[in-house]
Amino acid sequence: MELSTWLERVAIRTREATVTRSAWRLRVADGRGSGAILRVDADGESIYRGEGAFLGWTQDRLAAEYGRLLPKGDTPEPDPGQYG
């Protein structure tokens, strides 16, 4: 069973903010299913959200799995924010 992962930049909205933010979505798929882990960098910390197979996971578990599954050489850059 081959594991496929890919990283993309997406726009998201959070309850805590009145602006649209950007996040990294790490999509994961294999023969058993698929899902995604989103990482939002805000106020000096990373917040994770699970989708699909990762729905309901704790922040610690999502952070560990995100680091483990992140494709080698795909280190996300810090988000510089929106310039106006």
- Residue-wise pLDDT tens digits, 25-71: 999 998 778 999 999 987 788 999 999 999 999 999 999 999 999 87
Report if residue 84 sits inside a domain. Answer: no
**Which H helix or E strand runs over 60?**
helix 59-69
Return the half-sphere exposure (C-beta side, CA atoms, 13 A cut-off) of residue 26.
Answer: 25
pLDDT of residue 74: 53
Q: Which domain holds residue 61?
A: 4-69
Residue 77 belongs to a domain: no
Residue 82 belongs to a domain: no
Count structural domains, the chain.
1
Give the pLDDT confidence of 60-75 residue by residue, as tens digits: 999 999 999 987 765 5
Query: 7-18 burial string, b = 16+ CB within 10 Å, else e?
Result: beeeeeeeeeee
* 37, part of any domain: yes
Question: Is pLDDT of 81 > 80?
Answer: no
Q: With beta carbons less than 8 A apart as the criterion, state whether 5 and 71 touch.
A: yes
